[in-house]
Amino acid sequence: MELYGRKIAVVGGATGGAATALLAARAGARVTLFEKVPAFGAVGAGIGLQANGLAVLRGLGLEATLRHQGCVLGAPRIVDVSGRTLLEATLPEGGYVLMIRRSELQEVLRQALEATPGIEIRLGTEVRRASPDGTVELPGGESRFDLVVGADGVHSRVREGGDFGARVTCTGISYMRGLSSYEGAWNEEVWTAAGIFGTFPVRGGTYWYCSMGTRPLREAVARRDAAALRRIWNEALPRTEPILAEVDSFSRVLVNEVIRVDCARFAAGRLVLVGDAAHAMAPNLGQGANSALVDAAALVDELQRAATLEEGLAAYDRRRRLAVRWVQNASASSGRLAEQTNAAVRWMRDRLLMPLVARAAARQVSRTMQEPPELLERIAARA
């Protein structure tokens, strides 16, 4: 299907939405990007770009700039409190992980969006509703598009407007994330009696995250008691002390509940979903934003290959839904394993189960990536 001249609305300007807008515009579409915040920013602290997401960004010509701003890492590890390796991630041949501040990633995407002809950026514009016929309801009236892409996250307005068969599940698991000026990141995630704690280097400091695996931690968060938070983690894992030393209030951290989104279909009429709007998942495999980048490449690829819009959207749904469902399930399973705080259960997990998990994970790396990185790079480069 020829995208030249097609009117496409992209709702949401974060990673998946920005990539979709760039790819569609480079393929000739007239793209309007709606973002409800008045200025581009980043909700989050750090992000690990993996081989599949990096391939899309490489095809867009953004990888070199991102490498300059981020930290190139090898395979991260999961360890116990003694430092014993429980699992070391398997990367595709020649692959690496790029850790970067989300604000820096968003800034690189913003510059690319503003430099790309065919993209109109409308900041501070909230889409109130989107209809399957391509109508978008805005504060000042309505506009009609050939296609509306919902990249607007877990609480997607675009998803609300179509029959996607969506199921939104609140897991009850919460994670805390932050940035520290401490420059001694471990490049690993530790499974402790209090939950998980991970640290990875970013330019000028450390990106860290932790779970709220015990009642005292959850109570400390509910009270917004930063001193109690630091004390509990310092007792569970003493090497967190220099990382959390700067956390003197909850204004310096983000706390988010893990919410899962499952859709029976990713397209409904002239509406289509990418990223968290379609398949929000647990963060344990680090595939949330990376999967959104794969969505963007696959969507534009299938639209260009199809004879009609309907055929292209159906092909995108077939290509992405089951592939990303596997990653959602694997992420959830990893999270359940990580959150075990009972001492006996942890001993059995670490000594008996994790060696089996490690062997299985090595065999499933291609399923985690979902698409061959070299294919994603070619798709993004030719758009």
Q: Residue 362 has what pLDDT?
A: 81
- The DSSP bridge partners found for residue 273 are 150
- Whose tokens are 């097609």? That residue is 6
Q: What torsion do the CA atoms of 92, 96, 99, 105 make, to the nearest 10 degrees?
A: -80
Q: Residue 65 has what pLDDT?
A: 97
Kindly state the tokens that stand for 204.
């000028």
CB distance 191 to 80 below 8 Å: yes
DSSP-H helix ranges across the chain: 15-26, 51-59, 63-69, 102-115, 157-160, 215-223, 226-236, 241-244, 276-279, 288-305, 309-338, 343-348, 354-363, 365-369, 373-382
Question: What Å distances lie between residue 368 and 55, 59, 92, 297, 327, CA to CA?
Answer: 14, 20, 10, 16, 6
Check residue 302 and report its DSSP letter: H
Q: Which domains does the chain have, with CATH numbers?
A: 7-72+96-169+259-342+371-382 (3.50.50.60)
CA–CA separation, 383 and 379 (whole Å): 6
Q: Residue 41 has what pLDDT?
A: 74
- The pairing of strands 188-192 and 77-79 is parallel
Q: Residue 363 has what pLDDT?
A: 85
Q: Residue 365 has what pLDDT?
A: 87
CB distance 259 to 171 below 8 Å: yes
Q: What is the chain's pLDDT, residue by residue, as a tens digit (383 residues)?
A: 899 899 999 999 999 999 999 999 999 999 999 999 988 876 679 999 999 999 999 999 999 999 999 999 999 999 999 999 999 988 888 889 999 999 999 999 999 999 999 999 999 999 999 999 999 999 989 999 999 999 999 999 999 999 999 999 999 889 999 999 999 999 999 999 999 999 999 999 999 999 988 999 999 999 999 999 999 999 999 999 999 999 999 998 999 999 999 999 999 999 999 999 999 999 999 999 999 999 999 999 999 999 999 999 999 999 999 999 999 999 999 999 998 888 999 999 999 899 988 888 888 888 999 999 999 999 999 98
Q: Which of 337, 285, 272 is nearest to 53 (CA)?
A: 285
Kindly state the tokens that stand for 136.
């978008």
- Phi–psi pair at 274, nearest 5 degrees: -135, 160
What is the amino acid identity at position 302?
E
Q: Residue 210 has what pLDDT?
A: 96
Q: Residue 42 has what pLDDT?
A: 65
